[in-house]
Amino acid sequence: GIQSSGTKRDSLHIFRPFCIAINPYKRFPIYTLRTMELYVGKRRNECWPHIFAIAEGAYQGMQNSGCNQSILITGESGAGKTENTKKVISYFATICSSGKRKEGEASLEDKIVQTNPVLE
């Protein structure tokens, strides 16, 4: 089934278990810490379609089964694969970070996001 975030102008749709991002060039204020907090501990069907819902599903799957999980982010050149990968990494780093670090030390999120060119 298709789950839509509600209006024709919205940019995310989920075809279970896929999340399709449309119009990656338009900026929406939907990647904030507050938005992340809405998805922590929730199942995909409990929230609006979002890349954080996919990330949380993978995280819960890993926690519950103890098995590795995969998220496939695909698309044509310029479709937003790198940006969505950064959002997933940011989500994991944020929910897994203890928040404790030495003065001047980069955050866990910053360290992980810096590895993105290696992951590509």
Q: Which pLDDT tens digits describe the chain residue by residue (120 residues)?
A: 444 454 444 555 555 566 666 655 667 788 899 999 999 999 888 988 889 999 999 999 888 998 888 888 888 887 788 888 889 988 988 888 766 666 777 776 677 666 665 555
Tokens 């479709």 belong to 79
Length in residues, the chain = 120
Q: Are 75 and 81 in contact (CB under 8 A)?
A: yes
Select from 37, 73, 68, 67 the least CA-distant residue to 54: 73
49 preceded by cis ω (within 30°)? no
Tokens 């992951």 belong to 119
Q: How far apart are CA 107 and CA 27, in angstroms?
A: 24
